[in-house]
Structure 1
Amino acid sequence: MANKHCISLKINGWQAVAGLDWHVELTRHRRTLRAQARTRGHALFVVVPEKDDGVDGALTGSGSPPAEGTGLQVSLAQLVLPGLGPATAAIFPLDNLYWFVASEPDGRLSLFSDIVGTRDQVIQALRLYEERTPLPEAGRRCLAPGRFRGAGQ
């Protein structure tokens, strides 16, 4: 699901960006990854080396956030990921939209998340995540405002 919205929030002098498009790339070379982000029309890219043994690749996020002042731009999804824990989906209100972020059962960022959109778009992203992500034995958690109760069912 491609993002149509990128939102930038100021946090401790950083521009934390929500709504990046995430892909697994088979290279870690930043110059190649930057060129791939530009071919998608994106101005920002983030690289997270893959943890898998023997895999020479990277998880990359790219997008075109609004230019808001100066400062280091970082991925909001990568900032909140350690606090989510494994197999967790979360929905947060942002401005007049919502942000959906989720983790895989092994704790990595889900490629089906970091979506900024309307309530319906976020519910669609949550359902896609639930359909495509293996259900761990311990189950999944979903953190969301009360008006989203039952959204993923």
Structure 2
Amino acid sequence: MGGSGYAGNLLDLSFAVQRGEVGSTTDTGHNPAWCNAVNPRTGLSNAQPDCGLAGGGFVLDPRGELLSSQVKDFINRSLFTQTTWALQLTKAYYGEAARRNYWVGSSTGGRQGWWMAQQHGDLYDGFLLGYPAMNWNRFIIGEAWPAVVVNELLGPQGPGARQE
């Protein structure tokens, strides 16, 4: 299963398990506990507190420097590892290889699925992708744009209570 948002959490796999399938998910190498943990090499937290206000602060250290390894984990490394690990675990647990392997995801999970189809399509039998969040740098700005417009037109208080 693909992730959602900045993918810093593990999704519920009960639907797959209830259907008798093996499911897998990844937090793409980060979550608030990881972001807040102290890095023994630096004595500072691994990333921005609680992974930042919107969740994307996992790619910045406490000084605001880019953590390129976290970017690579978010974009591709964790997805490949999730897939290969799930296939290995399936074979070890059931004593046979998976009969089929599908990627299912939308939004962030849809974008992740597009990446996996392009880079590692041979690992899958199919992809079910919905509304992939592409062009991430434009997507995030576009997501914030309505609030910017409301602030410009109505001020920081936003729309007032409805008068009858």
Looking at secondary structure, tell me which structure has more strand per residue: 1
Please confirm whether the aligned pair reaches a TM-score higher than 0.5, indicating the same fold: no
Normalised to the residue count of structure 1, the TM-score between the two structures is 0.25
More helix by share: 2
Q: What TM-score does the superposition give when structure 2 sets the normalisation length?
A: 0.24
Q: Which has the larger radius of gyration?
A: 2
